[in-house]
Amino acid sequence: MTAMQLLSTIVKILIMVGFVLNLAAILTWADRRQSSMIQDRIGPNRAVIKIFGREFRLAGLLHPAADGLKFFTKEDFMPLRADRLLFMLAPIMAMGMVFTLVGTIPFGDTICPRLFHLHFVAHWPLIEGPSAQRWGTCSPDVKNGLYPIELIAAPLGVGILYVFAMSGQGIIAAAIAGWSSDNKFSLLGALRAASQMVSYEVTLGMSLIGAMMIYGTVRLDEMVRWQDNHAWGIFVQPLAFFLFFAAAVAENKRIPFDLPEAESELVSGYFTEYAGMKFGMFYFAEYAEVVTGSMLLVTIFLGGWTLPFFHRDGLTIELGGLRLLQVPVSHVWMTLLGVLAFFGKVIVVCWMQVFVRWTLPRFRYDQLMKLGWRVLLPASLANILVTGVVWLALDKSGPAVSDALKVAGDVTQAIVAVVLAYLIGSLVVGFFAPIKHLRTLLGSSAEESVKRGGTKSEPMQA
């Protein structure tokens, strides 16, 4: 390994770990903020910083920092009859599992340092520059010691198989946390967590077999390149997308699948006896799992770092064989755009999971298991069967069908481009629009109260 390759690996690790850590912290704020918006409450506003006598609340963004400070300063409690080794090992395994996954997730296309070198030498400042070829690989510049850099911390050939192998550690962490705590509520939570995560991991894996059949690879970066050349995975495997999303939420143990932690039944489930930073590691690992699950969903089904009509060589709008527009873009800008697109998609998918968290009620335990074994698993098996039959039929079809599929892929890219433009425009308009609070009366008693002049309340007294 050369010095440049070592340095690039360290930078890639810092980028991915830093993104997961920061986004997971922001998600703790987003959970509170989203719930307050849905329930028409004020939301997080108690954490305050004073500067020259003025108070700054920053829309509640100081709460994640306050949470971290509390975790570090609270007492590190351990039950007297707990298994000390396993009790301390469980939160480490829960937290460590998340960061072993991000190393195999690509967050951008391959960097060609030779093109970057030409760009900075001949085109400074960054206005123009050479474009990369859409097809093929980047050739190294041995004379100057410049080699292609894949934007993956650990580009393993096994790809998604490694992800499944490492994600199984989460089951072990929850199980030993509940067993080692010497608490009946913790033990029940551990049993629920183990059975739930094993059940939904089966669906999680089965839902991706159809995608692997179509992509023809288990490498995550090659899956993204297939989507760039054809269509996003959500269009070629729509059922698998929803199955994977549901199973991923269940694996994260969040509402409506939070049976292992159910406060109203098990106090706090398998980590009831944990306090201080050990509890913080479990708490933070849950949000970090949301981020890594969103990364996998984006990579496999939402095109990864790609955007509609943007390729390695720039912007190319074409439908079928008709090219409508082509604008060459330098390799520097296309690489940066791809990285930003990947992280932007991950943020949107994380927000979707927060929205689900505050929208759906909790399942009963029997409903949870029936959904996994009687609905999601049969649906994933049916998806594999249908995918195999359709794939074999298309493989034996003529060139006319191939051309039609090419046109269909271009149409899906156009649909995605229009939807993204609409969502971005709506987001900008909604951000600057004034907030309107609508009062809705439910029930005849409220209506009668309004007719009689409303309710009158005396000032509250201590």
Q: How does residue 9 score in pLDDT terms, banded at 50, 70 and 90?
A: confident
Render pLDDT for 256-283 as a digit per residue (tens, 0 to 9): 888 877 777 777 778 888 888 888 888 8
Amino acid 242: pLDDT: 92
CA dihedral sign, ordered 272, 277, 280, 285: negative
Are the C-beta atoms of residues 175 and 193 closer than 8 Å to each other? yes
Amino acid 135: pLDDT: 65
Q: How does residue 128 score in pLDDT terms, banded at 50, 70 and 90?
A: low
Name the residue with higher pLDDT: 413 or 454: 413
Amino acid 241: pLDDT: 93
Q: How does residue 1 score in pLDDT terms, banded at 50, 70 and 90?
A: low
The burial class, CB within 10 Å (0-12 / 13-18 / 19+), for 46 is exposed
Amino acid 444: pLDDT: 63
Q: Which of 97, 110, 107, 113 is nearest to 167 (CA)?
A: 97
Name the residue with higher pLDDT: 303 or 431: 303
SS3 453: coil
From CA 105, how far away is CA 221, in angstroms rounded?
8
Structure-block tokens of residue 314: 């720039």
Name the residue with higher pLDDT: 279 or 297: 297
Average pLDDT, the chain: 81
From CA 268, how far away is CA 281, in angstroms rounded?
14
From CA 273, how far away is CA 179, in angstroms rounded?
11
Amino acid 434: pLDDT: 77
Q: How does residue 185 score in pLDDT terms, banded at 50, 70 and 90?
A: confident
Q: CB 271: neighbour CB atoms within 10 A?
A: 30
From CA 154, how far away is CA 103, in angstroms rounded?
5
Q: Whole-prediction pTM value?
A: 0.84
Q: 132-146, 255-269, 399-413 — which is least confidently predicted?
A: 132-146
Mean predicted confidence (pLDDT) in 423-451: 71
Q: CB 25: neighbour CB atoms within 10 A?
A: 19
DSSP string, 5-32: HHHHHHHHHHHHHHHHHHHHHHHHHHHH
> Has residue 145 got a pLDDT over 90?
no
CA dihedral sign, ordered 136, 142, 144, 145: positive
Q: How does residue 141 score in pLDDT terms, banded at 50, 70 and 90?
A: low
Q: Where are the beta strands (DSSP E) in 220-321?
A: 310-311, 314-319
CA 206 to chain centre: 19
> Has residue 122 got a pLDDT over 60?
no
> Has residue 423 got a pLDDT over 70?
yes
Q: 110-119, 263-272, 297-306 — which is least confidently predicted?
A: 110-119
DSSP string, 315-349: EEEEETTEEEEEEE--HHHHHHHHHHHHHHHHHHH
Mean predicted confidence (pLDDT) in 311-327: 80
From CA 185, how far away is CA 198, in angstroms rounded?
20
Name the residue with higher pLDDT: 357 or 389: 389
Parallel, antiparallel or unpaired: strands 310-311 and 49-51:
unpaired
Backbone phi and psi for residue 323, each to the nearest 5 degrees, phi listed first: -95, 120
Structure-block tokens of residue 459: 């000032």
> Where do the structural domains in the chain lie, given as residue ranges?
68-431
Helix axes 184-215, 238-251, angle to 10 degrees: 160
Render pLDDT for 196-253 as a digit per residue (tens, 0 to 9): 888 888 888 888 998 898 998 888 888 998 988 888 999 999 999 999 999 888 888 8
Are the C-beta atoms of residues 242 and 207 closer than 8 Å to each other? no
Mean predicted confidence (pLDDT) in 270-297: 86
> Has residue 124 got a pLDDT over 60?
no
Q: Which of 371, 349, 379 is nearest to 210 (CA)?
A: 379
Residue 266, CA atoms < 13 Å, CB-side half-sphere: 24
Q: What percent of the chain has pLDDT over 90?
A: 10
For residue 86, the 8-state DSSP code is H
Mean predicted confidence (pLDDT) in 87-101: 84
Q: How does residue 385 score in pLDDT terms, banded at 50, 70 and 90?
A: very high
Amino acid 345: pLDDT: 92
> Has residue 119 got a pLDDT over 60?
no
Highest mean pLDDT among 51-65, 117-131, 134-148, 428-442: 51-65
> Has residue 144 got a pLDDT over 70?
no
Amino acid 46: pLDDT: 79
Report the DSSP beta bridge partners of residue 325: 317
Mean predicted confidence (pLDDT) in 13-29: 88
Mean predicted confidence (pLDDT) in 140-167: 78
Q: How does residue 457 score in pLDDT terms, banded at 50, 70 and 90?
A: low
Amino acid 142: pLDDT: 65
Amino acid 72: pLDDT: 81
From CA 6, how far away is CA 9, in angstroms rounded?
5
From CA 269, how far away is CA 189, in angstroms rounded?
4
Highest mean pLDDT among 79-88, 212-221, 306-315: 212-221
